[in-house]
Amino acid sequence: MGIMLAAGIAAPAMASDESFQQAFEAARAHQWDQINHDAIQGHVLEGYVEYHELKSRLPGVSPTVINDYLKRYRHSVLSEWMRGVAQDTWGARQQFDDFLAVSDGVPQGTTRQCWYYRALLDREPQRAAIGGRQLWLVGHSQPTACDPLFDRLRANGTIDGADIWSRLMLSWRAGEDAMARYLPDELPDSWQPQRSAFERLQGDPGRITELPGMIRQDTPGASSLYSAAMARLTRQDTAQALTAWGEIKSRAPLTDEQRHDIEHDLAFYSLVRDIDANAQWANAATAQLGDQDLFELKTRKALEHRQWHEVAAWIERMKPDERRDAHWQYWLGRAREQLGDADGARQAWQIAAGQRSFFGFAAADRLHQPYALENERITIAEKDMKDAANLPSMRRIAALYRIGEPGLARAEWYYLMRHLPKAQHPTLTQYALGQGWYDLTIYAAIRGDHWDALDWRFPQGYVDLFQKWGQQRNVDPWLLMALARRESSFNPQAQSPVGARGLMQLMPGTGQHVSQQLGVPWQGVTSLEEPETNVMLGSAYIRDMAARYSGNRVAAAAAYNAGPDRVDRWLADSDEPFDLFIEEIPFRETREYVQAVLTYRAIFEGLARGTTQGVHMMTEHERTTRYNGDLQR
C-alpha cells in the first residue's frame, strides 16, 4: 500500500492560497486579464483556473489540447467535467469528429449518449444500432437531441414496427399517456390489427376480456398488450382486474414471468387496498407466488389486526435468509409471546439480538442483554498515512477546504472513491477521519462496503458541540448526534431539495422562529451552515419537540422528521406499545427515520463508552409507556 501511494507524491506547491483565490475568482468571472499565471504556477489547484479558461474557449479549442488536459488531470474530477463540457459543446454543434476524439467509451447522460451513437452511425453502424435501440426502448420521452438518431435508425429499419410497439406498451404501462397517443401513428400498416385492439383498450382496459376476439394469440405483440392492459386495469380497478384475469388467464399468450408479474400486482393491490372480494384469492396467491414483499405486506396486515397466529405463519413462510432478519425475528418473537410460547419467543429474539439494527437492539432489550455492535477496527500503517497526505488528490481536497470550497472538495473525493480500487479505500478513509472530514469518511466507508467499521460510519463528528448544547438544553447529546448523522452525515453545508440546511437540516423558517424564541439575532439562511449555530438552534427545536410529548424521544424524533401536527394525529389514533406504534407509522420515510435515529444514538453512546453494557435506545419509560394522545402536553 505504501508503495502505491508514494508513487503519486508531488512536490509541495509554492504558490500561495491567496494568489490562487484571486486567480480563481477572476476565472469564474471571466476576467482573464486579472489572472496572474506566474503567481499560481505550481499551486495544486492550478488546474481549476485552466479548466475555466479552456471552457470559455470552446469550441475553438482542438481535441488535442483537451486530451492533454484530460491526461494531466485524469485523477481529478476536473477531467470528468472537462470531457463533459467539450462533449456538450461539440455534440450540440454536430462536430462529431471532435466529440469522438475526446470520448472514452459510452458517455454519461442520455443526451451525450444520443450524440455518441449518432456520431457512430457512419463509423460503426452496428454499435450505433445496438446503443440507439437501447435508448429507444424506454417508456418515457427522451431529449430532443435523440430525435435525429431515432429518425436515422427508423429510416434504415433498425427500429422497426416491433420496437415501436414495444415502446408504446412501455409508455402505456408507465402512464405516459401523451406518448401512448402519438406512437400508434408511427406503426407500419402491417401492425393495424394490434393498433386497433390497443385503441379499444386505451380508454377502457376493462375491455381486455374482449381481446381474445380481437387478435389471435400468435399475433406479434399480443403478449405485451395483455400484460400492459392488465397492469393498467389492476391499478385502475383491482376488483375488476381480478375478475377479468379469471376470464382470460387460460387464453392469454403470456410467458410464465408475465403471468407471475400480473398475479403479483393483483395480490399486492388487493392487499394494499383491502379489497374484501379479492382477499381469499390474494392470500392463496401470496402463498403460491412466494414473493418476499407480499409476505412482508401480509405480516404487516396481520400485525395491524393483531392476528398473532397469522403474523407467525407468514413470517415462517419466508425464505430462511429473509426470515432471519432481525425485523422479522423480532415480530416472530412477539407473536410467539402472545401465543404463550415463551421459549420460542426467546429463541427468535436471540437470533435478532445478534444483529446491529433497531429490531436487533429491541430484541436485546427484551432479553436484558447488551447490544451487539460488532465493531471492526481497521489499523492503517503510519507510513501509509503519511503517503496519503502527499497524494495530489488529498492535497487538492485539503486546499479546497482551506480556501472555503467544500463543495469542490467533496466532488474531488466522490470522484476519487468512484475510481480508486476498493483495496485502497481504507487508508484514505482513515486519513479523512483524521482530518475531520466526517461526511467524506462516512461516504468512503459505505462506498467501500465497510459496514462493520463503525468508527468510520459513525465518527465522533462535532461531539464537543453536541455535548455542549445537549447539556445546555438538557437534551440527550447522543440523540443530537444521531439526528445529525441521519440528516446530513455530518456535512455542515448539506442542503435538501426542500431547502433544509446544515448538520441538523433545519428549514430557514424553523431556524428563524427558534432564533426569535431564544432571543438570538437571526443571521440569515447561510448561518445554518455554521456548525455552532445549527446545533444551537437544532438542539432547541428537538428539545421543544420532546417537551411537546412529555419528554418522549420516540415521538420527538418522529415529529422532527414528519412535523408535530402529523405526530399529534398518529398518537390520537393510537394506544400501543412503542414497537407497534413505530411499525404502524403511516410514512415509510418516518418509520425508517425513527428506527435509524434510535439505533444511531445507541451506537454513538456504545462507541464512546467502549461497551454497550448499560446502553439503551430508549429509557425504560419510553419502552413501557402506551403511545397515545396522553403523551401530548
pLDDT of residue 2: 39
Alpha carbon distance 88, 439 (integer Å): 31
pLDDT tens, position by position, 18-65: 999 999 999 999 999 999 999 999 999 999 999 999 999 999 999 999
Amino acid at 406: P
Alpha carbon distance 482, 504 (integer Å): 10
Residue ending a domain, choose from 128, 159, 190: 159
User: Does any domain span residue 236?
Assistant: no
Whether residue 600 sits in one domain with residue 477: yes
With H, G, I as helix, E, B as strand and everything else as coil, classify residue 187.
coil
Answer yes or no: is pLDDT of 9 > 90.
no
Confidence of residue 422 (pLDDT cuts 50, 70, 90): confident
Three-state secondary structure along 512-545? Answer: HHHHHHHCCCCCCHHHHHCHHHHHHHHHHHHHHH
Alpha carbon distance 571, 6 (integer Å): 59
Confidence of residue 309 (pLDDT cuts 50, 70, 90): very high
Burial annotation 607-618 (CB, 10 A radius, 16+ → b, else e): bbeeebeebbbb
What is the average pLDDT value for the chain, to the nearest integer?
96
Mean pLDDT confidence for 332-360: 98
What range does the domain containing 501 cover? 463-631
Burial annotation 134-144 (CB, 10 A radius, 16+ → b, else e): ebbebbeebee
With CA atoms as reference, report the closest residue to 288 among 266, 306, 269.
266
pLDDT of residue 11: 41
Task: Please name the residues in contact with 158: beta carbons below 8 A apart, sequence gap of 6 or more.
Answer: 129, 132, 133
pLDDT tens, position by position, 553-597: 999 999 999 999 999 999 999 999 999 999 999 999 999 999 999
Answer yes or no: is pLDDT of 633 > 80.
no
Mean pLDDT confidence for 120-140: 97
Whether residue 593 sits in one domain with residue 545: yes
Domain count, the chain: 3
User: Does any domain span residue 419?
Assistant: yes
User: Does any domain span residue 585?
Assistant: yes
Whether residue 493 sits in one domain with residue 622: yes
Whether residue 509 sits in one domain with residue 588: yes
Amino acid at 249: K
Residue ending a domain, choose from 417, 436, 455: 436
Answer yes or no: is pLDDT of 454 > 80.
yes
Whether residue 515 sits in one domain with residue 393: no
Whether residue 566 sits in one domain with residue 425: no
DSSP state, 547?
H
Alpha carbon distance 331, 253 (integer Å): 41
Whether residue 424 sits in one domain with residue 479: no
User: Does any domain span residue 611?
Assistant: yes
Whether residue 524 sits in one domain with residue 627: yes
Mean pLDDT confidence for 216-241: 97
Confidence of residue 7 (pLDDT cuts 50, 70, 90): very low
With CA atoms as reference, report the closest residue to 415 among 88, 99, 110, 81.
81
Mean pLDDT confidence for 498-507: 97
Answer yes or no: is pLDDT of 544 > 90.
yes
Alpha carbon distance 443, 435 (integer Å): 15
pLDDT of residue 144: 97
Residue 601, CA atoms < 13 Å, CB-side half-sphere: 22
Mean pLDDT confidence for 515-520: 95
Opening angle at CA 597, ends 592 and 600, nearest 5: 120
pLDDT of residue 4: 39
pLDDT of residue 5: 41
pLDDT tens, position by position, 62-79: 999 999 999 999 999 999
User: Does any domain span residue 518?
Assistant: yes
CATH number at residue 558: 1.10.530.10
Residue ending a domain, choose from 120, 136, 159: 159
Answer yes or no: is pLDDT of 151 > 90.
yes
Mean pLDDT confidence for 211-240: 96
β-partners of residue 506 are 501
With CA atoms as reference, report the closest residue to 27 among 49, 43, 60.
49
With CA atoms as reference, report the closest residue to 616 among 327, 322, 371.
371
User: Does any domain span residue 35?
Assistant: no
Opening angle at CA 229, ends 227 and 234, nearest 5: 95
User: Does any domain span residue 93?
Assistant: no
Confidence of residue 14 (pLDDT cuts 50, 70, 90): low
Confidence of residue 15 (pLDDT cuts 50, 70, 90): confident
Task: Please name the residues in contact with 629: beta carbons below 8 A apart, sequence gap of 6 or more.
Answer: 568, 571, 572
Whether residue 565 sits in one domain with residue 483: yes
User: Does any domain span residue 332?
Assistant: no
Task: Please name the residues in contact with 116: beta carbons below 8 A apart, sequence gap of 6 or more.
Answer: 87, 91, 99, 100, 103, 106, 107, 131
Whether residue 558 sits in one domain with residue 514: yes
Alpha carbon distance 296, 470 (integer Å): 38
φ/ψ of residue 133, rounded to 5: -65, -40
Whether residue 533 sits in one domain with residue 390: no
Q: What percent of the chain has pLDDT over 70?
A: 98
Confidence of residue 508 (pLDDT cuts 50, 70, 90): very high
Whether residue 495 sits in one domain with residue 572: yes
Instruction: Give whole-number Cα distances, 305 to 268, 275, 299, 569, 630, in Å.
Output: 18, 15, 10, 20, 23
Confidence of residue 86 (pLDDT cuts 50, 70, 90): very high
